Copies of this chain bind each other. A is one copy, B any other.
Amino acid sequence: MPVSVLHGAGDVRLEERPVPAPGAGEVLVEVAAVGVCGSDVHYYREGRIGDYVVEAPLVLGHEASGAVVALGAGVDAGRLGQRVALEPGVPDGTCAQCRAGRYNLCPAVRFFATPPVDGAFARYVVLLADFAHPVPDSLSDEEAALVEPLAVGVWANQRAGVQPGDRVLVTGAGPVGLLAMQVALTRGASSVTVSDVSPQRLAAATRLGATRVVDSREAPDLAAVVEADVLLECSGAQQAVSAGITALAPAGRVVLVGMAGSATGELPVQLIQTRELTLTGTFRYAGSYPAAIALAASGRVDLASLVTGRYSLADAEQALTAAVRDPATIKPVVVPGL
């Protein structure tokens, strides 16, 4: 089968590999669509993300959908043929973190496209059956692939405990910010303000339902223009973190979703104390796929309009460089069947 393989920074090759065989409890999935994530782009450019280094050839792609075409031992026969969204991280299921329901923190998790585990830029992949989530026909293949970043937004909102009446501030209007924002609305947020430095991204936020957008180049002091109960920080930018926290009302909640660019950051600790703010971060998600699928399938979250380009496996490198070539890029998708 054809596979797109990263051999090092800037070195992506189309290769042939044997179709993998599903083991016990696993399914073989014919891949239908794979979204390109910022982490894929980062591996492509740098050959690493922090301590994760591409030391052997690596298949990228972890936002994937497809159809079940073969079953491993013990898998229910009814699963054959099902269209599925692939949850790309499979934990060991028995460690202390897993037993506590925090399987995203399992130290033995095997996650697509994270060295040394291959991802989904391939014609076929195998996955534990319980992590291949059935999707209804109301979701297209591309939308089913984007359930993965939507799950990030679902988890961020869950950890923030967004509920009706909350005023939500989302800093950063990339794909995750645009999804976190939509999820906040599905949870009853009374207002969702989105800040970014890109007019194109802010326009997308407005189109997707933001009650207000703020160009943070013009209004860097967010506290001067908005008061919020929840900050969903999706930019990873230090100044957005600080400005966003300062805009929170007493008892406000902060979730750091966008990966910080450096190990440490300057936070307004006295405000955290005097206003009793609560701050946490998210690492992927746990148990978020069913809710993400339900929200997308019912039309309450728009995934389709995030797709800004489709590429064959042979053109995977084009997908990885799309954002550089076109600033209006939101989410390129690799379609192995093209």
Contact = CB atoms under 8 A, between A and B. Distances in A.
Interface string A291-317: 110110010100000000000000000
A144 to B, nearest CB: 16
B154 A183 contact: no
Given A163-B187, A281-B274, A263 B269 contact: yes
Contacts of A103: 99
Contacts of A96: 130, 287, 290
Interface string A42-58: 00000000000000000
A294 B93 CA distance: 23
A275 B283 contact: yes
Nearest to A298: B190
A290 to B, nearest CB: 5
Interface in A152-201: 154, 157-159, 163-165, 183, 186-188, 190-191
Interface string A264-275: 111111111111
A interface SS class = mixed
B164 A291 contact: yes
Interface string A230-254: 0000000000011000000011000
A7 interface: no
Contact of A282 (B157, B271, B276): B276
A286 interface: yes
Contacts of A283: 273-276
A99 B270 CA distance: 24
Given A183-B164, A188-B300, A260 B270 contact: yes
Copies of the protein in its oligomer: 4
B268 A266 contact: no
B251 A105 contact: yes
A191 B300 CA distance: 12
A215 B159 CA distance: 35
Contact of A154 (B164, B263, B298): B164
A92 interface: yes
A114 to B, nearest CB: 13
A98 interface: yes
A158 B103 CA distance: 21
Interface of A: 25, 92-105, 128, 130-131, 154, 157-159, 163-165, 183, 186-188, 190-191, 241-242, 250-251, 256, 259-260, 262-283, 286-287, 290-292, 294-295, 298, 300
In order of increasing CB-CB distance, the 5 nearest A-B pairs are A101-B101, A93-B93, A165-B291, A273-B281, A190-B294
7 contacts: A94-B128, A100-B287, A105-B251, A105-B276, A165-B291, A264-B270, A273-B282
